[in-house]
A and B are shown apart, each in its own frame.
Chain A
């Protein structure tokens, strides 16, 4: 039980950090949560991903969204157009994830993220 509480506190602290990244960068936070649940708490990959999806069901970004909206930093129309696709794509991806052993695919994704991130930082500061 004591271990369970300690782990719970650890997971909560981890979620706080992922949340800060979420609000700062306008993302869900799953991209940090999934690897860190695995690396820090020993979650298997599929379990980490399923748990991350639970955390993304309630509107965790709502307070951050309101802060962005107050400053006029929300394009409501583009958002509305993107939502149905993301939902439908999510069902397809969830089905695919069961069939594949997507380790290779995650490595490709990590590579793409790395390149994208490096390019963004470069174009922001050195161009």
Chain B
């Protein structure tokens, strides 16, 4: 079991670096299905994992390439700190079953957004290179 958990962490970490995400979106369902956790417990544990700067190693690689907007990043951190507290107040009283269902809907929405983003990129590939330097 311990080995599964360690390997799961490594796999999720690769996605963190590749996609610039926190990894919670993969960690939560993985803990629910692979480790048999309750939805609330998986979400709380995911928030714990995201507490230390796990993306720091990945960030260093992006920083070297000049692909970081520090001002926007700080603004986002601030907004997310406040928003996350509000979100937890909404989620905690919900029944686990409904929270699980809503999580599923959220994943579907995220998938559609990610997909739409890659479609736009395909269309304007050279423009993407410009804005990345801007």
A26 to B24, CA, bound (A): 7
Are B81 and A45 neighbours in the complex by a CB distance under 8 Å?
no
Task: State whether B132 touches A24 (Cβ < 8 A).
Answer: no
Q: Is the interface of B mostly helix, strand, loop or mixed?
A: helix
Q: Report whether A13 and B79 are in contact in the complex, using a CB–CB cutoff of 8 Å.
A: yes
| B87 lies within 8 A of A22 (CB) | yes
> What residues of chain A have their CB less than 8 Å away from a CB belonging to chain B?
8, 11-39, 41-65, 67-69, 71, 73-76, 78-79, 81-98, 100, 102-103, 105-107, 109-111, 113-114, 116-125
Contacts of A20 in B (CB 8 A): 83-84, 86-87, 90
A41 contacts across to B, CB distance below 8 A:
72
Q: How far is the CB of B128 from chain A (nearest CB, A)?
A: 5
Q: How many A-B residue pairs have CB under 8 A?
A: 466
Asked whether A74 and B48 contact (CB < 8 A) given A54-B74, A117-B104, A122-B104, the answer is yes
Tell me if A116 and B40 are in contact (CB < 8 A). Answer: no
Q: Other than the known A15-B78, A49-B62, A106-B19, what 15 A-B pairs have Cβ atoms closer than 8 Å?
A: A26-B44, A26-B91, A27-B27, A47-B132, A53-B58, A56-B77, A68-B44, A73-B92, A92-B17, A94-B58, A95-B61, A111-B111, A114-B111, A114-B112, A118-B107
Residue of A nearest to B17 (CB): A93
Neighbour of A15 across the interface among B15, B46, B61, B79, CB < 8 A = B79
A124 touches B132 (CB 8 A): no
The reply to whether A89 and B71 contact each other, CB–CB distance below 8 Å, is: no
Task: Pull 6 A–B residue pairs with CB atoms less than 8 Å apart, ordered by A.
Answer: A28-B23, A47-B132, A64-B85, A65-B51, A85-B11, A114-B115
Cα distance A118–B103 in the bound complex, in angstroms: 10
Please give, as numbers and ranges, the residues of chain B lying within 8 Å of A103 by CB-CB distance: 118, 121-122
